[in-house]
Amino acid sequence: MASSFDPVGVFDSGVGGLSVWKEIVKILPNESVIYYADSKNCPYGSKTKDEVIALSENIVDFFLHQNCKLIVVACNTATAAAIDYLRDNYPIHFVGMEPAVKPAALSTKTDNIGILATQGTFQGRLFRETSRKWADGKKMMIQAGEGLVEIVEQGKAESPEAEALLEKYIIPMLDKDVDQIVLGCTHYPFLLPLIKKIIGNRATVIDPSPAVAKRTFDLLALQKILNESNKNPYYKFYSNGPAPAMKKILAGIISSDFEIVQADK
């Protein structure tokens, strides 16, 4: 039986899920949160569904050993490949990443929506179903952001290399009159300064992370396992491989001291 004092587990293939972690701790300041970066196996985007399921299972086992009360799959690609399987096979609640097609479809004035995500996310059931449900009658420009995850992992989110790739992916969307661009990968919010520079005021960028944090809050409340006490929430960060950018990214989003623990699996 989960206790309200147990931690929330958040994972991603690497540092991307920290963009979700940041939103979670903002609206759930009493919660202890354990973050796991599967840096050794990053990126997930080019892996098969079965590979991503196996990797996600490893991490879920790790979280269960730490008594996590809820797990946030802070990775669109892992959500697409594995969340159905995880929900069917583990006795714990999961929150996944929603491809934010709905808010984009509701806000567009040009009826043209752009989605930047990994190949794995575009291949998933969630993306297919959400698009069918919400984007009927809209034109969707989907673009795999190849290379972007690696750039963020290497700490080069503001490099000329990042800018060149983003221009290649985003300018064709703007040329097609896209006025909403969905960030369908949790690594991409770290590229926002460059994305905004390229877009200017020609389109709105949609990051689903705040909505995912809100869903985490609601699910904890619904299960009656919200931590109501603000005594000593702790944050732990694990990575199982080299994560050159993790320290710098964390330093930019956390005000307390932190340590990145090397995970052995």
| Position 16 contacts ligand DGL (CB under 6 A) | yes
| Position 99 contacts ligand DGL (CB under 6 A) | no
R_g (Cα) of the chain, nearest Å: 18
Q: CA-to-CA distance for 239 and 260, rounded, in angstroms?
A: 7
Q: How many residues does the chain have?
A: 265
Q: Which helix (H) or strand (E) holds 117?
A: strand 112-117
User: What would the x/- binding string for ligand DGL be over residues 20 to 59, using CB under 6 A?
Assistant: ----------------------xxxx--------------
Identify the bridge partners of residue 141 per DSSP, sorted by sequence position: 114
| Position 108 contacts ligand DGL (CB under 6 A) | no
* Closest approach of ligand DGL to the CB of residue 145, in Å: 9
**Binding to ligand DGL, residues 125-184 (CB under 6 A):** 149
Catalytic residues: 75, 185
Q: CA-to-CA distance for 6 and 91, rounded, in angstroms?
A: 15
* Closest approach of ligand DGL to the CB of residue 89, in Å: 21
* Amino acid, res. 38: D
> 13: closest CA among 99, 120, 130, 143?
120
For the chain, where are the E strands, in sequence order?
Answer: 8-12, 33-37, 70-73, 93-95, 112-117, 139-144, 180-184, 204-206, 235-239, 260-262
| Position 185 contacts ligand DGL (CB under 6 A) | yes
* Closest approach of ligand DGL to the CB of residue 46, in Å: 7
* Closest approach of ligand DGL to the CB of residue 140, in Å: 18
**Residue 212, CA atoms < 13 Å, CB-side half-sphere:** 31
User: What would the x/- binding string for ligand DGL be over residues 59 to 98, using CB under 6 A?
Assistant: ----------------xxx---------------------
| Position 186 contacts ligand DGL (CB under 6 A) | yes
Site residues, ligand DGL (CB under 6 A): 12-13, 16, 42-45, 75-77, 118, 121, 149, 185-187
